[in-house]
Each structure stands twice: as structure tokens, then as C-alpha cells.
Structure 1
Amino acid sequence: MERESMEFDVIIVGAGPSGLATAIRLAQQAQEADTELSVCVVEKGSEVGAHILSGGVMESDALSELIPDWQEKGAPLNQPVTEDATYLLRDETASIKLPEFITPRTMHNKGNYIVSLANLCRWLAEQAESLGIEIFPGFAAANIHYNDDGSVGGVITGDMGVAADGSHKDSYMPGMLLKARYTVFAEGCRGHLGKMLIEKFALDKEATAQHYAIGFKEIWQIDPAKHQPGLVIHTAGWPLTEASGGSYLYHAENNQVFVGLIVDLNYDNPYLSPFDEFQRMKHHPLFAQYLTGAERLTYGARAITKGGFNSLPQMAFPGGCLVGCNAGTLNFSKIKGIHTAIKSGKMAAEVIFKQLNETSPTEFCADFNQTYQQSALRKELFKARNFGPALHKFGNLLGGAFNTLEQNVFNGNMGLTLKDTVPDYKKLKSAAECRPISYEKPDNKLSFDKLSSVYLANTNHDEDQPCHLQLKDPQIPIRVNLPSYAEPAQRYCPAGVYEIVEGDEKEPVFQINAANCVHCKTCDIKDPSQNIRWFVPEGASGPNYPNM
């Protein structure tokens, strides 16, 4: 069956905040210049917002720059932050509330909003469509289309109706070739096409290794008597005695709280299970006081690109650019990436529109890089450049003290740059060097198992399709990872995708339950052998997050 093709001026891969900001700003400029511009957004989720997950505290300045009248237009920023509280959790019962002056000023949230990023993206999509942008949910951009000169010329969406053995079902439809003068890749953290582009164009040759965390989030409906609308709680310390990171609890609207844990993926003990650390965290009295007797509504997990300024690749390449978390624009000193994603998308749109209408396309990379160098986005990320490396080098306590000093006293301009050059997967020690960690069974009141949690993620995959979790060498999990690292995929995956089971002859077998996958990308990042390649499954597969 012949592959159909369509042509656009600009194609945007991903309907997250950076992709939708790019689309909206392109359309605004076309409207201002009274010119025609064809822009298409492809989104692998079943609908806009289906794959979106964020802790949920947002600075509104970037949104105000993009859509100044967002309040009048009904943007879902309904719960302003009313109070900040930061705690050091000393152990499973004790905590100390830290005075505001010893926490980094970047962690202060007065003037910000507690939001559902999924719902914000749905609203942004409505604004984009009202400006004439075409948005196609349920279409996964599977591959990159290159022009004869080697520049990016668009994307090819994934085939539909392919069976697990590679044969074509009756429902088979080949993917479409979508051509464009410029293609913007806004896939989010560890986008599989972004990963290809970084390698092909050596975009990271001047950057340090990228770093990641895995972030968990649950939404709970709590007793109205316990609800404190606008309260933002952050913690450091327990339960992460063998990793850096921290937890949060945000009192959103409608008697709901957002609760989660961020675990940096540079931890070294292969027995550590980020999911189980999150489950036991909720038993701490600081969290249990709100969650006891409450109802858990949703669960999700997603990797976070947190390397920041030092790890940021060149974002532009011939024919397109990376934006948002696909590039790594999150400001980890604030634990915020929504506003920076919007800023990067807006910047990309302005450079692309200029190229389409005023200058030679051959100057695109230089124009983009110059615009970034002069941008407020670069200035913000530069000030936060040491935040992650300080935690990695010195740990939560000393690293936190360094960050407070740099941010509060030197305003991010201390005059030195700390760097972490070791990729997260290389940090794992052998199982023989580490002690196993014992996690208690979930009580199904505050803590839960992986499968019941995945159920709340509403994840859905047609099981009769090719496995989207591809092994470069199928023998490595049993031959290398199991004896060397006790096969950590069993523990770092937050959805029970990977298991070691007993085969027919009592030998261990590496089993992949791909239907459980919540598209967090942790396996692609943390596998010590770099043997797992996350690829897009059939369009519309994956989680269906309602309000994350």
C-alpha cells in the first residue's frame, strides 16, 4: 500500500507546552503579518494531554508573554500558591521545617499556580486550533524524513495495524510522510527522535552528559477539613538515603492534593526501587496526615531531563530544532519546566517565522543559536547551572547548602561552574558491592503495588503489535545484567514491564510486559548496558492521564 504524503510549512512533533507554544506563536505572527502559514502538530497520545504529567507548580510569566489575556480566555490556572513549606525528613517519622531563609530562593513559589499541565495543554490546543493550527492526536511520529542534502525534511508517522510478528492485519495502514520546511521536535524528555537527531548532528559535542530523574505523581481526593488550598510542601532527605531527589505535596483545587517523589537516576545501588521508595514515603506522618482515609484517583510516572545548562545540546540543526524537555530546558533549581518549555517554543517560532519570511534558510542554525544566546531563557538556565551538579557531587545536605548560598547570596553568579560528566547509567555499582533493600508489602491504603497503580494510569496497548521496547541484544539481560546488577530493570521500571521469570527448563527468562508501559523512558536511560531502546508503539497507545 502506497504511503500518502502531505506538505506543511512547519510540523511540530508533540502537543506538550513547548510544541503548542511553538504552534500558537507561529499562528500569531502569520495573523499579524496577514500571511498564510500551514502548521501541523502530531501527538502520539490518544488525545492532547493523555501523555502529559507534571508535578504541577507553574510560573505564569511565559504564558503571559505568549497569550497576554489568558485569564479572560479561561486558562485553567485556578489555584494560586498561598503558602510554601520545606521540610527535611530525618527518618520515617521525624521531620524539621526549614526556615525560608535557608532554602534557595528559586524554590519559593509565591505568585505561582498549582496546575494540571494536561488540562493546560488541552486549553492551549484549543487556542492553537482557533488560530487555524491542525492538531492530529493518535499519530506517533516514528521516523525522521531527510532531504537529499541531509537536512531534516519532516517525519513519517507509524504504521497502523501491524501484528506482533510483523505481518499486516486487515486494518493495516502505512504511516504518512509529513514534509515540512521546518520540523520542531517537542517530544518531551528522552524523545526517541530527539535522541536520533542529537546523535546524527552531534548536537551534544560541547555539552556534558545529560542527567535525568524519574518523577512519580498521584492525585488524591482528601477530607475537606484537611485541605489547605494553595499550600506547597517540598521535602528532602528520607526516604532517599541512597539517592538524591525530593518529594512534594501540593494542595490543588477541589479538595485534591498532588503527591509525588523525584528520584535522580544517578543512584548507584541496583537494588533501589524508585517506585517502592515513593510508596514508603507516603507513610511518613507529614504525608499520612493528609492521605489517611483519602482516595487515590490517579497514578503516573515520567522521566525528567534535569541536566540543565551544562547538558543542553545545540537545539538547532539543518531543517529544524529541539524545544522544551526534548532539549532539556527544565530549570531544576526551581523544579519547573513548564515556563521554560513555553519560552523555548516561542523562541523557536519567532526564529522559524523570520526564516520563512525574511532570510535565507541556510542561516537557520546560526540565527537560532544567536537568538538563544541573547535570550532570557539562557540567562535563567545559566544561573541554575550548578544546582544539579552540586547535589550529585555533595549530596542532598551539603549540595543543598551550596545551592542556598549560590542562589540567595550570589543570585546564581558565584563565578564557578560545577560539572557532572558521568552518564547516569554508568553510576550503577555491581550487585556484589551493594546491599539488597527490603521494602515492606503495600497496605493498599497509603501504599500500593505496581499493577494496581498502572491500572489507574489507564494505559492501553494492543498486545498484538511489535514490542516497542527493543533489545539490541536479547541475551544481555540474562547473560550480563542479571549476574552483574541483579537485573535492575525489575526495579527501576515503575510499571512492572520487566520481570525475571522461570522458563520451561527452570532457567531465568527476561520477560517484557510491554502492555504495562507508561512511556516514562526510564529503561532507555538507566539500563547499565544501554541495551533497551524505547520506540513509539502504535499511535494512541500508552497512558491516558485525565488531569495530570
Structure 2
Amino acid sequence: MTNQELIAQYGPREAMEYDVVIVGAGPGGLATAIRLKQLAAAKGAELSVVVLEKGSEPGAHILSGAVMDPRGLNELLPNWKELGAPLKQPVTSDDILFLNETGSTRTPDFLVPECFHNEGNYVISLGAVTKWLGEQAEALGVEIFPGFTAAEVVYGEDGAVRGVATGNLGVGKDGQPHDGFQLGMELHGKYTVFAEGARGHLGKQLIAKFKLDAGRDPQTYAIGIKELWEVPADKAQPGKVVHTAGWPIADDSFGGGFLYHLEGNKVTLGYVLGLDYQNPWMSPFEEMQRWKTHPAIRAHIEGGKRIGYGARAINNGGLQALPKLVFPGGCLVGCEAGMLNASRIKGSHAAIKTGMLAAEAAFDALQSGRAQDELSAYPVAFAQSWLHAELERTKNFKLWFKKGKLIGNLMTGIEQWLLPKLGVKVPPWTLHGTKPDHLALRPAAEMPKIEYPKPDNKLTFDRLSSVFVSNTNHEENQPAHLTLKDASVPVAINLAQYAGPESRYCPAGVYEFVKNADNSDRLQINAQNCVHCKTCDIKDPTQNIVWVTPEGGGGPNYAGM
């Protein structure tokens, strides 16, 4: 049954009214909620705020490196240390390594570009910080509904966003309701703030409906694949930060590794690969596993135990790819809008800042009786903020690398090292991208096939054992949340022309091509493995895969990530 048929039979949906509805309990969404309640308390105003979170709790679906710049948090909650924020490990040293197959070269400290300096930053679990932010929001009176997906945008008669509807519960794989069926409910707000993270399911729809990306560069992405390790005490170097470039990527694909030492003998490490890579034989997951075997990386984790795994798409389009931030009835914040600073590999401070700016604009509009107006004060405040200035300084970072590694490294050095020394903060030139990531793949026959080594299950692993340590789970009797516009396309086009790249770009083994009884091919979708990284929604060359929300609470349950 379609959603409309279910509503016709079981509806109408119940509705709850709020001043502000926020989709996503990540740093951006929670910062919005906290700032709204702070402003209301300062004015003695009543303000109802609700946050929907598809994960089992705030932080369950959050994945980031992460080295955190506390600037946004300093503004949001200046007393965060007294409040017990889990920022406990300051960065103590920075290494930037250029790897070849067997060795590495460390960049001298005096040549390290400005964007890679981490003095005053903290090595953190962003999931833990997000969970803590959720506690601060609830203490201020914010309602948080974990385990509820925002499955649909609700529009008013005037076409403005009126709120969202949660997903139905108890629908079987066959699309029919079963004994546990429960119709979703609507949450209406005077404003709805979307903070779903990169390539948000609803944000993608809003950008298309309101043409928010008109006249902007296409947004581009990378996939970040991460592991958490517990290492022997003699290998622990709390606060050490390592970034790598070079091997194992053999072509001009944009990629690099990170390795951060947390407190408690923990090491978080991972690999970021731009989703504009051309070779359909490439596997981001396998590149990450191979990267760990390099002597410079192996030395940090050998003898340890892998205790966590996850993957997530991240924005790297820069300032030129930011969509319009507001539309009738709401706005976009954080990585939903593409605010990550790719050169710094940091986005949590940007998410917090944009959440605060959106909250301030919404609160002013609500207090002055302009609740139906578009929140134009938000993009104006963003344009005047330190965050905009920061993104402007690094606006060309990814775009130079689209011209090749040599040019990318050279121009990053010029823009992020030389120009600041000359007193030039913003590059006097602006590059532009023209091609979305899904158009980058070349036919498999034109590209060299890549043979990856088998995992040793000590340092390197396969996908399924990796998904296991991500604590991923979905209710099996539900419609697949990875949908196809045309079921014939994966075999007729993707397999025939690109050798079935979805079986390699997915870091969770969701997609595999199997043989039918007559020896013909078909695509099998193992939706229960999905870690919600959104890579398929971005990289599928035919844009035939559409990621929609599963039942609330499904997906990964990251611990310490």
C-alpha cells in the first residue's frame, strides 16, 4: 500500500504543534534547539522546540574523525568545561605525511599550511559530544524524540513548509500493514529547521523543490570510512594527530588518511576518498584496509583490537556549492547545507555556528510576529560571520585537486601557506566546479582493474565483519529503504558499462550482483547492512538509487565513534 492509501484507510494522521521543529539531533540541530531556548529564557518567553532523531539516541548515527575546533561550542555554551563536555584530550602534536608504498616523508612544521594547524583543538568522539549536547538541550526544556524518522515534508496550502511527518511503523516487506502497524504523526512548526547531515533525505527534496542550488556549483562529496581501535599502552600517544596523502591511491583521485590518538589507549583512524573518482573498479573500503598496512600506520595499531567501524559521506564542495539556506517555512543548517570545511576536515564547529545563527533569526521572527516570513536574517548573518570568512579562505581547496594531485598540493601550499604569510587571507581568485560526482565514472573497459589483497582479520577485515562492529540493525520485516527508480537499470547499465560499481563503493556490502536460476544477473539489496552513509545516493552513475528513511531506530548504533 502507498503512504496515501495507508493514510486514507487509517488516518488522518495526528498532529502536534510547536514553534520550531528540528530534523536531526546532530551538532547543528541541537545547537539550534539550545540557542532557541537560551534566547527564550533571556527574554522570559515561552517557546516550544522539538527535535526528531532517526537514531536510537542522539549520537547513535554520528560519525566523524574527529578533531574538534571548540570555537562554535565556546559561543554556544561558554561554560562547557564546567558542564562536563567530553572534550578531554587536547591535540599535542601534528604530523602530515606523504606516503609512498613503503615509506613516508613528514612535512616540516614550518611548511604546514594554516588549515592543518590544530593548536587549541581537541581529539574527540563526536558521538559522545552529540549525546552530551542532547542532555544540555533537554535540560533547557527541548523535547527530543529519538527513534523517530522524519520521513516526509509537510506543506501548507500556500506551498510553504509546515513541518514533517514521521514514518509509519509496522509495514511489512510486502508494503502491507501488519499487527504492529502505527500511522506516522505530523509535527507542525512555525519554522522547520533541517539538520540531517550531508545529503539529507529531506534536504535533497527541498533543494530540488525550491531550486535552492540554482546558480551554484554542484555539491560534491567524499566518503569517510573510520575504525576505532584499542591499542597497547606502550603505543598510546594521547593527542597525537596524523594526516596522510599519497599511497595507496595510484591515480589523481582525491584521498587521504587520518589517525588520531584519544585518551584511554584508543586510536581513531580512517580514510577519506572523493566521490568524484573515475575508476569504477575502485573500492573505498578496500583502499582504507590497504592504507592500514603501510608501516607508518601499522606502527600505531599493530597488536591492538578493532572495536568500532562506520562510514559516512561528507560534503567538500565549499562555499561555491552552498545552496540558498532559507525557503518558505524553514532553513538548512550544518552539513545539510554543505558547511564542512574540507581543507580542515572539520564541520562540527560550522554546524554549531549555523545552528546558532538560524536560531537567532527564527527567534527574532517569532518574537516580532513575522513567523510566516522567510528567515532572510539567517543568510545575512552567515555572510557576516567568522564561519563565512573561514570558508572563503579555503573555497578552492577541493577544486584544485580536481586538476590533479600535483596542482592540488602546490596550490594548497600557495593559498594556505604562502598567501597568509603575505597578509592575503582570501585567495583573489575563485574556481568553480561543473560536474556532480555521479558523472565522473568512466566505463570499466577503459580503466585498469584493481586487485585488492584478502583481509588477514588482524589488521585488515572484510565488509560484513566490519558492519558487525558498527552495531547495525534494521527490523527485517519492513520495506527496503534503498529503492530503485527502475529495477532494470543496475544490470542493463551499471553492470554492463561500469562492472557494477555499487558492489564496490558501498562500504557495508548492501549491494551484490547474483545469478538467477537461468544464469542471468540481478542486483540483490541487503538493506539490513546499511550504515546510512548515503554513498549510493550520491555515486550511483544513473542516479537510480534513492535512499529513503527506514523505520526509526534502525541503522548503526555507534559507540565511542
Structure 2 length as normaliser, TM-score?
Answer: 0.96
CA apart distance, 1:410: 2.0
Are the aligned partners of 2:28 and 2:333 in contact in 1 as well (CA < 8 Å)? Answer: yes
Name the structure 1 match of 2:557.
544
Name the structure 1 match of 2:183.
174
1:70 paired with 2:70, answer no
Separation (CA, whole Å) in 1 of partners of 2:380 and 2:359? 14
For 1:85, what is the secondary structure of its paired residue? Answer: strand
Name the structure 1 match of 2:450.
437
Deviations 1:484-525 (A, max 9, x none): 100100000000000010111111111000000000000000
The aligned amino acid for 1:332 is A
The aligned amino acid for 1:325 is C
CA apart distance, 1:358: 1.9
Question: Which structure 2 residues correspond to residues 332-411 of structure 1 after superposition, within 5 A?
Answer: 332-358=342-368, 360-395=370-405, 397-411=406-420
Q: How many residues align?
A: 546
Separation (CA, whole Å) in 2 of partners of 1:323 and 1:529? 28
Gaps of 5+ in 1: none
Question: Which structure 2 residues correspond to residues 149-548 of structure 1 after superposition, within 5 A?
Answer: 149-242=158-251, 243-358=253-368, 360-395=370-405, 397-411=406-420, 412-548=425-561
Separation (CA, whole Å) in 2 of partners of 1:231 and 1:375? 30
CA apart distance, 1:61: 1.1
Separation (CA, whole Å) in 1 of partners of 2:94 and 2:332? 33
Are the aligned partners of 1:386 and 1:417 in contact in 2 as well (CA < 8 Å)? Answer: yes
CA apart distance, 1:367: 2.1
Name the structure 1 match of 2:112.
103
Separation (CA, whole Å) in 2 of partners of 1:319 and 1:476? 37
Are the aligned partners of 2:365 and 2:375 in contact in 1 as well (CA < 8 Å)? Answer: no
Are the aligned partners of 2:270 and 2:288 in contact in 1 as well (CA < 8 Å)? Answer: yes
For 1:371, what is the secondary structure of its paired residue? Answer: helix
Q: Which one of 141, 155, 160 corresponds to residue 146 of structure 1?
A: 155
Are the aligned partners of 2:59 and 2:130 in contact in 1 as well (CA < 8 Å)? Answer: yes
For 1:361, what is the secondary structure of its paired residue? Answer: coil
For 1:232, what is the secondary structure of its paired residue? Answer: strand
Separation (CA, whole Å) in 2 of partners of 1:249 and 1:375? 31
Separation (CA, whole Å) in 2 of partners of 1:57 and 1:219? 14
Are the aligned partners of 2:14 and 2:185 in contact in 1 as well (CA < 8 Å)? Answer: yes
1:18 paired with 2:36, answer no
1:125 paired with 2:138, answer no
For 2:404, what is the secondary structure of its paired residue? Answer: helix
The aligned amino acid for 2:334 is G
Separation (CA, whole Å) in 2 of partners of 1:451 and 1:313? 36
Deviations 1:44-96 (A, max 9, x none): 001111100000100011101000000000000000000000000012x1111
Separation (CA, whole Å) in 2 of partners of 1:346 and 1:226? 40
Please say which of residues 34-43 and 103-112 is displaced more in the overlay: 103-112
Are the aligned partners of 2:361 and 2:375 in contact in 1 as well (CA < 8 Å)? Answer: no
The aligned amino acid for 2:150 is A
Are the aligned partners of 2:491 and 2:521 in contact in 1 as well (CA < 8 Å)? Answer: yes
CA apart distance, 1:362: 4.8
Name the structure 2 match of 1:59.
69
Deviations 1:238-294 (A, max 9, x none): 012232111011010100000100000000000000000000111000111121111
CA apart distance, 1:359: 5.3
Are the aligned partners of 2:362 and 2:375 in contact in 1 as well (CA < 8 Å)? Answer: no
For 2:401, what is the secondary structure of its paired residue? Answer: helix
Separation (CA, whole Å) in 1 of partners of 2:369 and 2:279? 52
The share of aligned pairs that are identical, in percent, is 53
Separation (CA, whole Å) in 2 of partners of 1:288 and 1:367? 50
Deviations 1:207-264 (A, max 9, x none): 1010000001111000111111100000000012232111011010100000100000
For 2:56, what is the secondary structure of its paired residue? Answer: coil
Displaced runs of 4 or more, over 4 A: none
CA apart distance, 1:363: 4.0
CA apart distance, 1:205: 0.4
Q: Note the aligned Cα RMSD (angstroms).
A: 0.9
Deviations 1:95-130 (A, max 9, x none): 111112333211111110000000001100110000
Separation (CA, whole Å) in 2 of partners of 1:359 and 1:37? 13
Are the aligned partners of 1:53 and 1:118 in contact in 2 as well (CA < 8 Å)? Answer: yes
Please say which of residues 360-369 and 99-108 is displaced more in the overlay: 360-369
Deviations 1:515-548 (A, max 9, x none): 0000000000000000000000011010000111
Structure 1 length as normaliser, TM-score?
Answer: 0.98
Deviations 1:317-355 (A, max 9, x none): 110001000100001111100100100000000000000
